[in-house]
Structure 1
């Protein structure tokens, strides 16, 4: 679609992300931002319950699911993920929202809270990625293995690596299959865009970096981490909880990196309790 010039001036080279929006328009808005190994389908099990009380918006970020990535999205160019989300809120007439972000989506939520603070009413961060935390031996080994598999053209091997790494012990075979489909789709979109950029002699597509100001986040923030998650991501969650003023932090003893896929019933209850602001039921 054509993006109005006023929005381009405000947010940069953006697109209106492919998204679902359900629930009454007058209800408080909740935005669900997916992990970097998934897309908006990762929220399927929690949306029906949330939409009874909230207007629920779940986009595919650029390069995931049904939102494209193209040569126009060259690395260091004009777009940011936070700008895309803010533009989507404008498109939907939403002034502000509680933002729930998983993993990479948690980092995008923090970028949004930094770059567009008036748009964020509350943050719920599920095993978020975050700046300022050094890599670990485990994360370096994962990155090297994924790079090797993709360089060899073994996309299915890279999909299996991600499923094995990021799902905790409670994930069943159906969940593994669903995550594999989402990760495979992300690889298809991103690798095709990278190949087109290489053929054209252009940089690989990607967003412009947004510097996150954790101490500057001034909204209620609830951080969740999984006891079975990779050490780097456990450190990221702890870092965010320590740096954001007043943030709460809960460690789920049963969870890996993607608790909403591993035990959707438990996370559905947690989200309803936190988003309804009932202080007596913030435990998992």
Structure 2
């Protein structure tokens, strides 16, 4: 199955992977900036998000993305990813290092991370709301949690994406498992940019610090007055950071 996606521009490839609270529309502010800078930009909806349906059997997000790149003829790409999309990006960069030219991760998740009590409490509250049939309440919990400094237009933008993700996933007939393929972060060769939000959960700030110590040629920075989705709360600043990083590591 081909992931729902769109492509803009020409030049070196840049693949955008969204968070698990959104879909490919998360990258609306970045798409024109990257295209204007001379990149061919691909953004896709992972399984169960946006316009991509839930899988009907065990699935491998990283393999799905690689197959999309193959279909589009993208031999080598920069990966720009947010939150849960960052976990997929790290797996791709480790399993197929020759396909990844550079890696920019915004508040990334990480396989094997032990969640803090605060993050566990958030997950339990979300699950309780969904089990009670309160999709609107679960959606609002995510908006309040992930965008602490956003204006109402930005909150509504995330609200639409998160509500859609819940509806797609809750409509699935049965739960299916993600295929877990062993991989080693030490196999990553791409230079990386690790961005954290000062007002995000401590988990994601700690993951950024840990990855900065593990990954080759890694740079780490933390943005003040930013929560979990900096590209939505501070799009202009994030665009500058991404373009500076890409011009240095994978120039158009």
Shorter-chain TM-score: which interval? over 0.9
Asked if residue 232 in structure 1 is aligned to residue 232 in structure 2, the reply is no
Q: What is the CA–CA distance in structure 1 between the aligned matches of 2:96 and 2:73, rounded to whole Å?
A: 15
1:1-284 matches, cutoff 5 A: 15-24=1-10, 27-52=11-36, 53-70=38-55, 72-73=56-57, 77=58, 79-169=59-149, 171-193=150-172, 196-197=173-174, 204-277=175-248
Match of 1:7 in 2: none
Over 6 Å off, 4+ runs: none
Task: Give the alignment's TM-score, normalised by structure 2.
Answer: 0.95
SS at match of 1:125: strand
Q: Which moved more, 1:239-248 or 1:155-164?
A: 239-248
Secondary structure of the 2:171 match is helix
Structure 2 unaligned segments of length 5 or more: list them: none
Contact 2:199 2:224 in 1 (8 A): yes
- Secondary structure of 1:101's counterpart equals strand
Residues 136-181 of structure 1, C-alpha deviation per residue, up to 9 Å, x if partnerless?
1101110110111011010000001111111132x10000001010
Deviations 1:239-262 (A, max 9, x none): 221221231111111211000000
Paired with 1:211 and 1:164, the residues of 2 have a C-alpha distance of 34
Query: 1:130 touches 1:237 (CA, 8 Å); kept in 2?
Result: no
**Structure 1 unmatched ranges of 5 or more:** 1-14, 198-203, 279-284
Q: Normalising by structure 1, what TM-score?
A: 0.85
> What's the Cα RMSD here?
1.2
Asked whether the 8 Å contact 1:131–1:212 carries over to 2, the reply is no
